[in-house]
């Protein structure tokens, strides 16, 4: 067994994922039964048993999904810690590239974070009603999420069992090599255009959320999330590291930078999620979404402020920009 699987963080992570997956697998089997026999209008013993069982199984799913959300930052922390074991890796950026499974796994985890959040919102609606109106919908949605979770579990195993501690990875040689950062940017953008787009999209997201144009806010928020990622990696991140050639999404998660990456990425992910959730709840479920919109505005504004504060702070301290 290699050193990776013997590290404390990986043992805890894989153990937690395995236990949670087993719980989800049981919930999946029960949910299939619920979908087959559920009839709320019946007053039979079988239906009462299904309702009791559904309450139990939905509580299990709720518990697991909340833990899965907490496990995402722990996963990032784990791979960051593994950089000590993987030659060439200075942070999680190198470790995630240690094999072909890393990046798909991280992307899948972010997709699952959003899907789990949506499931939790639908579940809250269902529990808030007296007659389980979304029971079937949330069960079908869980089945879909479970397929993603199964893929994630398989990728988790494949990823951690295929990290070689003998082959050097190309962590910083690639990331540091992109001076100016323009090479890595999409759509032929350069840094000034990227920043203009970043702030314009943020303004668009704020306006669409405030003016209830939620169908427009959905694509605007998703586009903002993509542009914000590049803006942080290729511009704002360099002010966190105070080094223009250091363009890494992961180093800011380390203690040298006071773990600010967790806050920064957390604000972005949860801000984007609340904006999407607001659109889904209001447009599809016809539910009031004022709190969700307020949360999205607050988190995304804090994200933009925090990014901008690093640039402003650097300028006030040194009198120049990087």
Give the relative orientation of helices 260-279 and 45-81 as an angle to the nearest 10 degrees: 150
222 CB contacts (<8 Å, ≥6 apart)?
272, 276
Residue 41 or 255 having the CB closest to other proteins: 41
108 CB contacts (<8 Å, ≥6 apart)?
148, 151, 152, 155
Binding string, 250-279, against other proteins, x = CB under 8 A? ------------------------------
Site for other proteins in 120-149 (CB under 8 A): 127-128, 130-132
Binding other proteins (rule: CB under 8 A), the pick from 9, 51, 212, 242 is 51
Residue 47 or 150 having the CB closest to other proteins: 47
Residue 78 or 123 having the CB closest to other proteins: 123
Q: How many residues are present in the chain?
A: 322
| Region of residue 152 (phi > 0: left; psi between -120 and 50: alpha; otherwise: beta) | alpha
Count, residues near other proteins per rule CB under 8 A: 15
Binding string, 24-43, against other proteins, x = CB under 8 A? ----------------x--x
Binding other proteins (rule: CB under 8 A), the pick from 26, 39, 48, 84 is 48
Q: Is 149 exposed, middle or buried (0-12, 13-18, 19+ CB in 10 A)?
A: buried
Query: Smallest gap, in angstroms, from Cβ of residue 128 to other proteins?
Result: 8
Q: In angstroms, rounded to a whole number, what is the distance separating the alpha carbons of residues 163 and 69?
A: 24
Residues within the interface to other proteins (CB under 8 A): 40, 43-45, 47-49, 51-52, 55, 127-128, 130-132
């Amino acid at each position: 067994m290699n050193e990776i699987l013997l590290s404390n963080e990986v043992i805890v992570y894989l153990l937690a994922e395995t236990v949670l997956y087993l719980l989800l697998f049981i919930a999946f089997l029960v949910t299939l039964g619920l979908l087959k026999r559920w009839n709320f209008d019946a007053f039979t013993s079988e239906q009462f048993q299904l309702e009791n069982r559904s309450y139990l199984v939905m509580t299990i799913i709720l518990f697991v999904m909340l833990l899965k959300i907490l496990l995402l930052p722990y996963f990032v922390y784990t791979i960051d810690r593994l950089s000590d074991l993987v030659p060439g890796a200075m942070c999680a950026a190198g470790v995630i590239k240690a094999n072909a499974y890393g990046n798909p796994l991280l992307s899948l985890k972010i997709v699952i974070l959003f899907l789990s959040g949506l499931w939790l919102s639908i579940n809250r609606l269902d529990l808030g009603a007296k007659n389980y109106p979304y029971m079937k919908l949330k069960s079908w949605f869980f089945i879909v999420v479970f397929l993603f979770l199964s893929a994630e579990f398989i990728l988790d195993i494949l990823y951690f069992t295929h990290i070689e501690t003998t082959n050097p990875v190309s962590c910083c040689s690639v990331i540091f090599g992109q001076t100016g950062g323009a090479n890595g940017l999409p759509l032929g953008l350069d840094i000034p255009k990227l920043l203009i787009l970043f702030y314009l999209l943020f303004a668009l997201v704020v306006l669409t959320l405030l003016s209830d144009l939620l169908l427009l806010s959905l694509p605007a928020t998703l586009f903002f999330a993509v542009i914000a990622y590049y803006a942080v990696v290729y511009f704002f991140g360099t002010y966190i590291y105070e080094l223009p050639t250091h363009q890494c999404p992961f180093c800011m998660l380390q203690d040298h930078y006071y773990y600010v990456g967790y806050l920064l990425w957390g604000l972005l992910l949860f801000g984007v999620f609340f904006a999407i959730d607001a659109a889904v709840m209001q447009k599809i479920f016809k539910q009031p979404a004022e709190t969700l919109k307020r949360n999205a505005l607050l988190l995304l504004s804090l994200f933009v402020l925090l990014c901008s504060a690093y640039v402003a702070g650097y300028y006030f301290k040194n009198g120049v920009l990087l």
